[in-house]
Structure 1
Amino acid sequence: MAIDDLLDEHEQGERVRSWLRSNALVLLVGVALGIAAIYGWRWWGERRVQQDQQAHAAYEAAIKQAEAGADNAGAALKGQQGTYATLAALRVAKAQVDAGKNEDAIATLRGIQADPALAAVVQQRLAQLLAATGKPDEALKLLDGHADGAALELRGDALAVAGKRDQARDEYAKALAALDVASPARRRVELKLQDAGGRVPDPAEPI
């Protein structure tokens, strides 16, 4: 190997060592952040698994209590978080409604810390129960700001319970306009609109 080549390699080696000395802190910080990210991800995953396991155990306990006719069986789910816990609360609430315990179902839905992706579903189910149990004002407050077809229909239901037939008719009309022509809920809303004294428009004409 020629002397020039050796000198080039030595010079390159010195440049690399110099660069490492200048950037050692940055490299160490990068490695530390990488390790922290790996362990953080693992911790988050383990925490989610633990939350789901806790929610599952709480759900099993709540269902057994509900089937046994216990009052406020959903208390076992109170404070639980995550998607599984939210779905569990919805199932328990349905079992309570089927058993004729609407107030217990309301307590179950109010006690859960709903997953953000399912929060609207929980709110709408809760609003439906509130209206059905003679609390239309609470239902309307819960639905305030919601403009999808399901929320508008529920607003109409709450207003109908409150004896505000004209306002209920307007909400049903809005709900109908927000629904797709092929929506399974469309026929139900049409019937409610007619019961409130409204006219079901032709799909081709604006509402």
Structure 2
Amino acid sequence: MASHLDLEEQEQLDQLKAFWKRWGNLITWVLTAVLAAFAAWQGWNWYQRDQAAKAAAMYDEFDRAYNAQDLDKAAAAAGDLQARYAGTAYAAQAGLQVAKLQLDKEKADDARKVLAWVAEHGSEGPYRDIARLRLAGLQIDAKAFDEAGKTLDAIKSPEFTALVADRRGDALLLQDKRDAAKAEYQKALAGLEKTQDYRRIVEAKLATLGVPAAVETTGAAQ
């Protein structure tokens, strides 16, 4: 009986050796690749968390300068975020905020540069599109209408469709293309919810073009 078991064990051992001889290298390479991929994934997650933590600390520094309306310190902190942590949301947020502060301080050229950076390098689509929308407004103010049109063309987020049309209307009106401007403002108005305050601004623009505001029905007829 023992001899029979020994023969079975030997046969199984021989089969295992033959299998490993044929497939051992492949199995080793596959396992190595899997372990390497897992280690890389873990390392990437750690790196992302580390970057986010460092960016958050730097953003706190920016936020203090921004709240104090210290343009020089805020711009420097925002620049550091862009240089060192460009892939984080903090860099895009700081860019949008410092551009607003620059405009408040009558630094339109600096604001355009910062908004152009966010439009190109912002970590998420909505940040890039907000930057493009604001940048287009500054380009329109500077009468750089072709540049503004290209900037607006790059906005793809559907939630900004109405505001893009409003900006196009502004550009067209400044070029004295009143009919085209009216069409864009009407498109903007159609895309805005009735509860949005910005509708009043678009309605006012249409009123200057001879289009009266629509009368809203608030109750059923008696």
Bin the TM-score by the shorter chain: 0.7 to 0.9
1:68 aligns with 2:77: no
Match of 1:151 in 2: 164
Rounded to whole Å, the distance in 2 between the matches of 1:49 and 1:183 is 38
Shift of 1:107: 1.6
Moved more, 65-74 or 166-175: 65-74
Rounded to whole Å, the distance in 2 between the matches of 1:3 and 1:200 is 102
Moved more, 16-25 or 122-131: 16-25
Match of 1:119 in 2: 128
Q: 1:141 aligns with which of 118, 125, 150?
A: 150
Moved more, 116-125 or 186-195: 186-195
* Count of residue pairs the alignment pairs up: 204
Q: Percent identity?
A: 31
Rounded to whole Å, the distance in 1 between the matches of 2:63 and 2:143 is 26
CA deviations 1:118-157 (Å, max 9, x no partner) are 3222211211222234433321121125472222222222
Alignment of 1:1-207 (within 5 A): 7-49=7-49, 51-52=51-52, 53-54=54-55, 57=58, 60=61, 64=65, 67-70=69-72, 73=75, 76-77=79-80, 78-79=82-83, 81-82=86-87, 83-112=89-118, 113-117=121-125, 118-144=127-153, 146=155, 148-198=161-211
Asked whether the 8 Å contact 2:100–2:111 carries over to 1, the reply is yes
CA deviations 1:137-189 (Å, max 9, x no partner) are 32112112547222222222222233322222111122233344555544433
Rounded to whole Å, the distance in 2 between the matches of 1:198 and 1:37 is 62
Asked whether the 8 Å contact 1:128–1:139 carries over to 2, the reply is yes
Rounded to whole Å, the distance in 1 between the matches of 2:115 and 2:11 is 71
Shift of 1:55: 7.6
Ranked by relative contact order (alpha carbons within 8 Å, sequence separation 6 or more), the top structure is 1
CA deviations 1:48-79 (Å, max 9, x no partner) are 34544258537835973893344993672554
Amino acid in the other structure paired with 2:79? A
Taking structure 1 as the reference length, the TM-score comes to 0.75
Asked whether the 8 Å contact 2:115–2:131 carries over to 1, the reply is yes
Asked whether the 8 Å contact 1:102–1:133 carries over to 2, the reply is no
Asked whether the 8 Å contact 2:59–2:90 carries over to 1, the reply is no
Asked whether the 8 Å contact 1:193–1:199 carries over to 2, the reply is yes
Q: How large is the Cα RMSD of the aligned pairs?
A: 3.6
Residues 1:138 and 1:60: Cα distance change in structure 2 (over 3 Å) = farther
Asked whether the 8 Å contact 1:59–1:85 carries over to 2, the reply is no
Rounded to whole Å, the distance in 2 between the matches of 1:107 and 1:122 is 11
Taking structure 2 as the reference length, the TM-score comes to 0.70
